[in-house]
């Protein structure tokens, strides 16, 4: 089995890396930016469209509110970026919002933040991939016709790339991310030059369309509610900001400074592109409708189901560069690609957070271990599986998926910034240096404003998006919270149960005697090896045990036993129903009842085979017996291996792979090397 799986694994993700190579995977700022900030950078490809989609409910007349909504999003972005720059400096360990909330607000708040972030990371992958498929579909009809299948394929490809390691995937992602940023800025500059200097009139493909408003003449509270809903949709541009605070350990030293600088770069780029696209969309007359087939009107007639509504960025690019031009095609390709890669923010945030939660015993401990390429492989695979499920359920429809979005991220924003206010209050209580106090007071003011503003946005998001799908995200948070609480209770219960402090006197007293049993099916070389080993242990009482399911075979076994003169008593149990496991279990339990202070040691001969299919042909009875005996108190089970000739094939394969690290040998990073160093190895 190993031979069948190992070669494809090495081809896909590469050779295993030693734990002491972890430092070589740390990221410089130029690579960290596309790795951790690709989500907020790429969200400018769909966030402006979401604003216009919501405003279209009131018709084209409501579009003049879009610059003000963009301004509100910009203020919020700068607030969040400034707040998180305080976070990464105060908590550089990588716990991010979870660590801040747990330390300052308590475990329940921390677990709430963790639940929100886990849901948000899954949605980041689903939304980004779905939006990428839709953008690519504007140029390639096949993609949009099979968008669910294409989205699943993109998630699988992205998963494989991330399994190869953070640094290696970062290098792959850097080029398209920077190409996208350069393409958007070129579009903004060329559009501004054409409009302001050359005086050209640029028209989007939908500029001549009309929009049939769902609610004519909307005003008063209804208009305010609509604007708040549009603002909450535009806040999709902020998703992924928190990933940098979770990914501080992946930065090169000085980690906190590099992370804070990357945050500032990300915020500046994102707001510039977001505002620029909104401005060009207004200039070129872009029209977007939530239900384009019936609400977009061309020459007085709805466009119908055959019409495909292109994203805002695609329409603006067509107006600025011209349909089919080289620059238009390059930007379309870069946009689709960077949206696919935007999911990489979640691929770095989710596994890191999962590792920290596993270390705190809120998630299975397998999520805390590193894979062969020093990435948190189990977390990456879990994230991919959850995202694929969402994409399949929602048909890779980004408009439907984005309604689930944002809730989780603003829950974490609000609780994190509230926790930071408490953090500064605690430090200020003991600090006497006036210069340091002034710095702390300034930082506290930034975090306090961030907590207030993000809390206000959270209320708006819940009020405007709850019935449109936000309840699904809240349900997911509740499920994650309940699951993690149950896992922690299980680990705590097991830890208390096995603690040496709680050991009973019976567990520390030496057993009176050891009653050894060698299970025998036939008298062959594996049985003789098991008998020899059992004799070597020198138990107080040793016997061989066989189950009679065929009288002729039992008679032959007894005669052969006596003929060879084996000086171990052979006990044969009748099994009229031809069972093997139950008679053995009942016999062992009977011995325990007769002498509760005795230990029963059961020796089971097993074949060692060299091919995966041979496991299906051998050792099945032994596996069933071991499984049952493990639940019997006071019983020790020992497997006595016998190597068949085919096992030599496995040994030869192992020799050929001697230069590779064994699976699992680099799971936990460099920590273990402090306690153990292989003799004769450098480093």
Find the mean pLDDT for residues 622-644: 85
> Does residue 659 register a pLDDT over 50?
no
pLDDT band of residue 187 (cuts 50, 70, 90) is very high
CA-CA distance, 198 to 512, in Å (whole number)? 100
Which has the closest alpha carbon to 571: 539, 541, 545?
545
Instruction: Specify which of 174-188, 209-223, 242-256, 485-499 reaches the highest per-range mean pLDDT.
Output: 174-188
CA-CA distance, 104 to 429, in Å (whole number)? 14
Q: Look at residue 669 in the predicted model and tell me its pLDDT.
A: 40
CA-CA distance, 433 to 492, in Å (whole number)? 42
> Does residue 54 register a pLDDT over 80?
yes
**Residue-wise pLDDT tens digits, 522-550:** 888 888 999 999 998 888 899 999 988 88
Tokens of 84: 């998180």
What are the residues facing 444 on neighbouring strands? none
pLDDT band of residue 658 (cuts 50, 70, 90) is very low
Which has the closest alpha carbon to 415: 108, 77, 120, 79?
108
pLDDT band of residue 671 (cuts 50, 70, 90) is very low
> Does residue 230 register a pLDDT over 50?
yes
Percent of the chain with pLDDT over 90: 10
Q: Is the peptide bond before 254 cis (omega within 30 degrees of 0)?
A: yes
CA 184 to chain centre: 30
CA angle 586, 592, 597 (to 5 degrees): 170
Which has the closest alpha carbon to 62: 206, 229, 226, 203?
226
Q: Look at residue 216 in the predicted model and tell me its pLDDT.
A: 62
> Does residue 317 register a pLDDT over 80?
yes
Find the mean pLDDT for residues 332-340: 81
Q: Look at residue 136 in the predicted model and tell me its pLDDT.
A: 74
| Domain ranges within the chain, ordered by starting residue | 30-490, 506-673
**Residue-wise pLDDT tens digits, 116-157:** 888 888 888 888 888 878 777 766 777 777 888 888 988 888
Greater confidence, 323 or 315?
Answer: 315
Find the mean pLDDT for residues 37-43: 75
> Does residue 664 register a pLDDT over 60?
no
Find the mean pLDDT for residues 104-123: 90
Greater confidence, 167 or 114?
Answer: 114
The helix, strand and coil proportions of the chain, stated in percent and rounded to the nearest 5, come to 70, 5, 25
User: What is the CB neighbour count within 10 angstroms for residue 558?
Assistant: 15
> Does residue 678 register a pLDDT over 60?
no
Output the furthest CA–CA distance in the chain (Å, rounded). 109
Give me the long-range contacts of 612-615 (CB less than 8 A, separation at least 24).
Answer: 612/1, 612/2, 612/4, 614/644, 614/646, 615/1
Q: Look at residue 246 in the predicted model and tell me its pLDDT.
A: 67
Q: Look at residue 189 in the predicted model and tell me its pLDDT.
A: 93
Helical H segments across 65-146, by residue range: 66-90, 96-105, 107-137, 141-145
Find the mean pLDDT for residues 226-241: 77
Report the CATH number of the 506-673 domain: 3.40.50.620
| 8 Å CB contact between 380 and 353 | no
Q: Where are the beta strands (DSSP E) in 273-322?
A: 296-298, 301-302
pLDDT band of residue 365 (cuts 50, 70, 90) is confident
| 8 Å CB contact between 679 and 28 | no
CA-CA distance, 543 to 534, in Å (whole number)? 9
Q: Look at residue 165 in the predicted model and tell me its pLDDT.
A: 57
Query: pTM of the predicted model, to two decimals?
Result: 0.67
pLDDT band of residue 479 (cuts 50, 70, 90) is very high
Q: Which H, E and C letters describe 518-568, residue by residue?
A: EECCCCCHHHHHHHHHHHHHCCCEEEEEEEECCHHHHHHHHHHHHHHCCCC
Q: What is the mean pLDDT of the chain?
A: 79
Q: Which H, E and C letters describe 15-45, residue by residue?
A: CCCCHHHHHHHCECHHHHHHHHHHHHHHHHH
pLDDT band of residue 518 (cuts 50, 70, 90) is very high
Which has the closest alpha carbon to 343: 169, 478, 589, 513?
169
pLDDT band of residue 372 (cuts 50, 70, 90) is very low
> Does residue 77 register a pLDDT over 90?
no
CA-CA distance, 143 to 9, in Å (whole number)? 28
Pick the CATH number of 30-490 from 3.40.640.10, 1.20.1740.10, 1.10.357.10, 3.40.50.300: 1.20.1740.10
CA distances from 652 to 394, 644, 646, 657 (A): 49, 14, 10, 9
**Residue-wise pLDDT tens digits, 26-39:** 677 777 777 777 77
Residue 411, phi-psi category: left (phi > 0), alpha (psi -120 to 50), beta (remainder): alpha
Q: Look at residue 95 in the predicted model and tell me its pLDDT.
A: 63
pLDDT band of residue 190 (cuts 50, 70, 90) is very high
CA-CA distance, 43 to 273, in Å (whole number)? 10
The bridge status of strand 599-608 relative to strand 635-643 is: parallel
**What is the residue whose two structure tokens read 């306090």?**
448
Tokens of 555: 């008679």
What are the residues facing 546 on neighbouring strands? 572
């Amino acid at each position: 089995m190993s031979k069948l799986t190992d070669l494809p694994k090495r081809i896909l993700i590469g050779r295993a890396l030693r734990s002491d190579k972890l430092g070589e995977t740390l990221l410089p700022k130029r690579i960290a930016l596309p790795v951790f900030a690709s989500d907020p950078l790429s969200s400018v490809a769909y966030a402006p469209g979401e604003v216009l989609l919501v405003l279209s409910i009131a018709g084209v007349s409501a579009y003049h509110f879009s610059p003000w909504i963009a301004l509100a999003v910009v203020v919020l972005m700068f607030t969040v970026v400034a707040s998180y720059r305080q976070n990464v400096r105060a908590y550089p360990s990588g716990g991010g919002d979870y660590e801040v909330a747990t330390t300052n607000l308590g475990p329940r708040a921390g677990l709430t933040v963790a639940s929100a972030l886990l849901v948000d990371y899954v949605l980041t992958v689903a939304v980004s991939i779905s939006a990428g498929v839709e953008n690519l579909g504007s140029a390639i009809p096949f993609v949009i016709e099979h968008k669910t299948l294409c989205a699943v394929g993109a998630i699988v490809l992205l998963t494989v790339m991330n399994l190869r390691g953070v640094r290696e995937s970062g290098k792959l992602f850097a080029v398209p991310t920077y190409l996208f940023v350069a393409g958007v800025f070129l579009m903004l500059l060329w559009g501004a030059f054409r409009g302001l200097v050359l005086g050209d009139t640029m028209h989007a493909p939908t500029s001549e369309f009309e929009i049939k408003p769902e609610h004519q003449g909307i005003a008063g509270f209804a208009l305010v509610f609509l604007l708040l809903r549009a603002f909450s949709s535009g806040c999709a541009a902020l998703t992924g900001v928190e990933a940098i605070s979770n990914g501080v350990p992946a930065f090169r030293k000085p980690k906190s400074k590099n992370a804070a600088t990357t945050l500032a770069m990300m915020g500046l780029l994102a707001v510039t592109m977001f505002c620029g696209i909104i401005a060009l969309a207004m200039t070129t007359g872009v029209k977007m409708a939530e239900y384009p087939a019936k609400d977009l009107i061309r020459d007085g007639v709805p466009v119908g189901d055959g019409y495909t509504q292109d994203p805002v960025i695609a329409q603006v690019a067509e107006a600025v560069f011209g349909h089919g031009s080289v620059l238009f095609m390059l930007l379309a390709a870069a946009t689709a690609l960077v949206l696919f890669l935007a999911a990489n923010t979640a691929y770095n945030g989710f596994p890191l957070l999962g590792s920290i939660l596993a270390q705190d015993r809120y998630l299975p401990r397998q999520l805390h271990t590193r894979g062969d390429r020093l990435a948190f492989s189990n977390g990456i695979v879990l994230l991919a599986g959850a995202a694929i499920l969402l994409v399949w359920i929602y048909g890779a429809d980004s408009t439907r998926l984005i309604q689930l979005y944002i809730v989780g991220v603003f829950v974490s924003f609000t609780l994190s910034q509230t926790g930071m206010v408490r953090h500064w209050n605690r430090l200020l209580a003991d600090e006497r240096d006036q210069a340091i106090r002034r710095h702390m007071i300034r930082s506290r003011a930034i975090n306090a404003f961030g907590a207030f503003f993000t809390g206000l946005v959270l209320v708006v998001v819940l009020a405007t998006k709850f019935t449109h799908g936000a309840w699904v995200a809240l349900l997911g948070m509740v499920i994650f919270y309940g699951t993690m609480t149950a896992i922690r209770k299980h680990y705590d219960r097991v830890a208390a149960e096995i603690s040496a402090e709680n050991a009973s006197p019976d567990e520390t007293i030496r057993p009176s005697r050891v009653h050894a049993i060698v299970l025998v099916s036939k008298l062959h070389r594996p049985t003789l090896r098991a008998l020899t080993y059992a004799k070597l242990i020198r138990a107080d009482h040793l016997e061989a045990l066989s189950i009679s399911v065929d009288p002729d075979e039992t008679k032959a076994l007894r005669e052969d036993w006596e003929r060879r003169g084996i000086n171990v008593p052979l006990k044969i149990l009748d099994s009229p129903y031809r069972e093997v496991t139950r008679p053995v279990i009942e016999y062992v339990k009977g011995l325990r009842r007769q002498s509760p202070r005795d230990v029963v040691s059961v020796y089971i001969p097993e074949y060692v085979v060299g091919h995966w299919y041979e496991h299906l042909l051998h050792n099945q009875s032994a596996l069933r017996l071991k499984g049952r005996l493990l639940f019997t108190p006071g019983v020790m089970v020992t497997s006595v291996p016998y190597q068949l000739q085919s096992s030599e094939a496995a040994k030869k394969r192992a020799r050929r792979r001697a230069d590779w690290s064994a699976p699992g040998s680099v799971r936990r990073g460099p920590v273990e090397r402090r306690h153990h160093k292989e003799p004769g190895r450098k480093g």
